[in-house]
Structure 1
Amino acid sequence: MNMPPDLSQLSPDQLRHLAATLMTQVEEKDKALRHSEQVNQKLTYELALLKRHAFGKRSEQLNVLQISLLEDGVDADIAAIETELEDLVTTDASSAPKKTPKRASLPPELPRTEIHHDPENDHCPCGCKLRRIGEEVSEKLDYTPGVFHVERHIRGKWVCDHCETLTQAPMPAQIIDKGIPTAGLLAQVLIAKYADHLPLYRQEQIFSRAGVAIPRSTLAEWVGICGVRLQPLVDALRKLLLSEPVLHADETPVPMLAPGKKKTHRAYLWAYATTPYASLKAVVYDFSEGRGGQYARDFLGEWRG
């Protein structure tokens, strides 16, 4: 533990330097706090608009299929924004209310694969041998094309009879904390939606035929959360992309329905890619509401090529 300096032993110059350092730290923390508050307010406002669109009066100018596709996107956006808000909020875990989602148990007829997580060493740090006293089981839903199966993660509980220390292996990190989908199932949903152009309502039908009913609203939540979790990968890929001397860029118009409005307007999806001759094969997409040069400058930043 670092002891605070004895201010009486410091020279005037050292005191001035210490005061300047402390003021700089306070200004940096205040700036970071203001930025977090602005992001929080922006996300809260966007969430309110999306919920108003999701639960408000439907536009009569859209047919049933269009409304279904839009609802999938809105549900995904709501889940993404709620996930970002949760990441921004830093509250004491002991005082925060614990969420205990209630979900239906996975169908018992699905094949199950048991994955055991036990301590690497069966001896306590005190030197005594551990004794198994129980276990915790959590089930994750996995999917290979056409077939569902369940991963049963079994975490044994071990206790030392001498010092009464309880030992249990940690649960492997999951993309959705305490959720049922494995990374494989989430990858299947994302690939089917974005690479194979399968809307979520069709995936819902496909999964139902395979024996598991997953509502499209749940699929949309998974998509939204995965978008947030994959953002660091997108940022890293963009950084690599901007290290290339030559880039290709093009934009494609896409219809955009703003919450609260009854008709779509034109927005753009920009694609930035390396050349066919580059060693790095990469494409990064950037959504914007226009096609002006400023949008490209915002993405490229200080890149010169």
Structure 2
Amino acid sequence: MVCQALLHESSKCVPCSHKFCKACILRFKDCPLCGADIEGIEPDDELQALVDRFIDGHARIKRSHVAGTEEVTGDKNKVIYEDVSMERGAFLVRQAMRAFRAHNIESAKSRLSMCAEDIREELKSSQDNQELCSQLGAVLGMLGDCCRTLGDATSAITYYEESAEFLSKLPQNDLELVHTLSVSLNKIGDLRYYDGDLHSARSYYARSLDVRRTAVIEHSAVASQVIDVATSLAKVADVDRNLGNESVAVEGFEEAIKCLEKLKLGSEEASLEQRRLSVLDFLRKQLDDK
């Protein structure tokens, strides 16, 4: 397989009959395995059904007896199964990430949708489970990325907004959660910006900035948080400039520059230093253009 993920919309090449994901094989004129000319592509429903059954089966795992589990009795031994959808969730996310990296976006979206459905089902009986809410927020954000890559901005915004809704309900003391939330808000802002809705874009950028400001108060020693705040300040200031609020924009750019100039990084943080200098260079150019 090309994407290294489980087959999605399994298809076979004609005439060699080698099998791939539909989205993967459509990129080729010759079979990636044998080099034969591809004269046509046919769906392999039987193979796809087998893959789908495997994925469904991954939600169940053999366990010792636990009260409330479902019992499946064989001829000799009694086997106890229990739903472990979060273990399946991790499996589905791994498959989705492989597919996404290989540009098989429909496959990634399909796996993430299944994962989100599993978590939603779990939340019906555990509505206050913060771990589940955090995981659902992350998965919804990834679904937004899939839709954005496919050019479906409307669906992307819907997923990002739902992701932000779930993550906003959680305590903001986890830096990974803060990052996921602020990125989802920024991505909505980006899509609104590209669509020409500057006021809406600014609103989302400002929300992301507020999240990052709060985080940097609690984690002032974390350099990446300071750089994130400066980046958010730049986004808000850029919109202010486009809205004609030049003085407000300049204040935002200047505040971002001060944040980065105060930040001192060690030699072991070379990648962060490169990022700091890149953002700082961008900000200074914005002031030069005023």
TM more than 0.5: no
TM-score, normalised via structure 2 length: 0.28
Question: Which structure carries more relative contact order (alpha carbon 8 Å, separation 6+)?
Answer: 1
Determine which structure has more spread, i.e. the larger CA radius of gyration. Answer: 1
> In proportion to residue count, which structure has more strand?
1
